[in-house]
Structure 1
Amino acid sequence: MSALSLLLHFTTTHRFLLVPLGLVVLFAAAWVLRLDLRGRGRLVLLYGVLLVLNVFAGPRLNAWFLHRYGIWAEALVTHQEGTYRRYNKHPVLRCWVLLRRPGAGSAQSSFDTDDFNLYPAPPDGYQYPAPGQPFTVRYVPGAEANFVILGDDPASAFVRQQQCTGALQQLSQAARQYQFDSADGGFRAEYRAQLTQYLRRRCGNPGLDEHYAHELRRLARPPAAR
């Protein structure tokens, strides 16, 4: 299983390098097998289809594989460094990670911010743990270079922070609607619901928590009493 994990890691993290490398291998295979022009065309077509699938679906397949067959571990980004690459106009960073393996001590690993190694795939873009922020992963023992960050683990400080950020964004939107038209019953009900949901998450921000708890108490009073 570790060999398969390392193979998936290579094909996903070097998916663009496989374009020129694969062409060299294809021409060498065609020469060794003495394929005619039609045979070479079929070989190139097959490789092209596999290459496109790997570019777009490889990271997700790797993440699913690790989530399905990997074991759980705690992790921490110790530091980041630049890679001189960009993806969607954003600099790609290399994140150095410590994995606390169950019963096997710590191991060093790394990932790049264009590896897309989160599971499940986030709908609103990939956000990665900051240095010093604990998170949880799954990996196959013996292949610690390949791991997936768990984006739905309630035990992960990274996941809790992401959930709190999302809840705060929804709360801010509801607050703006209510402030624009406080007489609208729908806006008032939505604001109360978002306040309740945010406070239930216990995000650990005393100032905000106190402010929003006061807001919720205020909204619970009849409109004439406010």
Structure 2
Amino acid sequence: MLTDAILHILHTLAQWRFLALFACIMLSLAAPSLPPFRPRADGQARFRSLIPLPLGIALGIGNLIFGPDVSAVLVHRFGTQGQATVTGSYDTGNSYNDRRVMGYKVLIKTADERTIQTSFEDDDFNVYPPANGVYYPQPGDVFNVSYIESFPEDFIIISNDDSPWAHALRCFELMSAVHEADGKQRFAPKSAEFRKSYEDALQTARAAGCEAAGSE
């Protein structure tokens, strides 16, 4: 399908965004020597010969910054849902922002009951919905994914649904808010504002079914 092919290209560009930026720059540097952009025989340079370099850099940087988020949104919108689990992890030997990049081995159970072996790395940012701070499933976690039907190895992790991992992640975030609010109201027990913030956070966690929020 054409849609799957486009999604596959966007997903691949997002995963290889640093290499894609380098390729865009190199192609932009080479473009002026190609016939469509080459100066005229009389020496008069065409204005369009100046276009490839900034355009290529802009496209490469745009993909570097926005590529993973765009890919996650589109694969979630047009992909097929399946269930997955992380079966193991490994050190990729690479670093990102002074942090070791870890890889995760994944099994995906597709909608037609196939089992696909694939993987992701924790600098892929292949999580929907996109967020600045990204948490990834760990070995043994069960979660849902959206994958490209014709390319099931290409997938994004769904973090806001009712899967066991997504529920645990949601409770972790809610309980973090409870603990923060509790610390404030314990430090200033006479503050009505802090007390109310704590009670609101506790109520939200309980409503989400977070068992640890059962008692004050």
Q: TM-score, normalised by structure 2?
A: 0.85
Query: What is the Cα deviation at residue 150 of structure 1?
Result: 1.1
1:35 aligns to 2:76 (yes or no): no
Match of 1:14 in 2: 16
In the alignment, what sits opposite 1:136? 144
Separation (CA, whole Å) in 2 of partners of 1:192 and 1:156: 27
Distance (Å, rounded) in 2 between the aligned partners of 1:20 and 1:103: 38
Separation of aligned partners in 2, 1:177 and 1:9: 43
CA distance in 1, matches of 2:21, 2:186: 54
CA distance in 1, matches of 2:49, 2:163: 50
In the comparison of the two structures, how many residue pairs are matched?
Answer: 207
Tell me how far apart the structure 2 counterparts of residues 191 and 18 of structure 1 sit (CA, whole Å): 47
| One-letter identity of the residue aligned with 2:186 | Q
Pairing partner for 2:131 from 100, 122, 128: 122
The 4+ residue runs of structure 1 with deviation greater than 6 A are none
Q: Secondary structure at the match of 2:139?
A: coil
2:107–2:116: 8 Å Cα contact kept in structure 1? yes
Structure 1: gaps of 5 or more residues: 216-226
- Report the counterpart of residue 105 of structure 1 in structure 2: 114
The reply on whether 1:74 has 2:83 as its aligned counterpart is: yes
C-alpha contact 1:99 1:106 (8 A) present in aligned 2? yes
Report the residue type matching 2:60 in the other structure: L
Matched ranges for 1:150-165 at <5 A: 150-153=158-161, 155-165=162-172
Match of 2:42 in 1: none
Q: Percent identity?
A: 27
SS in 2 for 1:80: strand
Q: 1:19 to 1:40 in 2, by over 3 A?
A: farther
TM-superposition CA deviations, 1:4-32 (whole Å, max 9, x none):
12211221111111244344444555444
SS of the residue aligned with 2:125? coil
Distance (whole Å) between structure 2 residues aligned to residue 121 and residue 191 of structure 1 = 28
Once residues 49 and 158 of structure 2 are traced to their aligned partners in structure 1, the CA distance between those partners, rounded to angstroms, is 42
Q: Residues 3 and 173 (structure 1 numbering): CA distance in 2 closer, same or farther, change over 3 Å? A: same
How far, CA to CA, are the matches of 1:196 and 1:115 in structure 2? 34
* Alignment TM-score, normalising by the size of structure 1: 0.82
Distance 1:174 1:27 in 2: 54
Is the partner of 2:200 in helix, strand or coil?
Answer: helix
Tell me how far 1:166 sits from its aligned partner. 1.2
Query: Which residue of 140, 146, 159 maps to 2:154?
Result: 146
Give, as a single letter, the amino acid of the residue that structure 1 aligns with 2:5: A
Matched, 1:46 2:48: no
Gaps spanning 5+ residues in structure 2: where? 40-44
RMSD: 2.1
| Preserved contact between residue 6 and residue 145 of structure 1 (Cα < 8 Å) | no
SS of alignment partner, residue 129 of structure 1: coil
Which structure shows the bigger proportion of residues in helix conformation? 1
- Return the offset for 1:111: 1.3
Offset at residue 85 of structure 1 (A): 1.5
Conserved 8 A contact 2:24-2:59: no
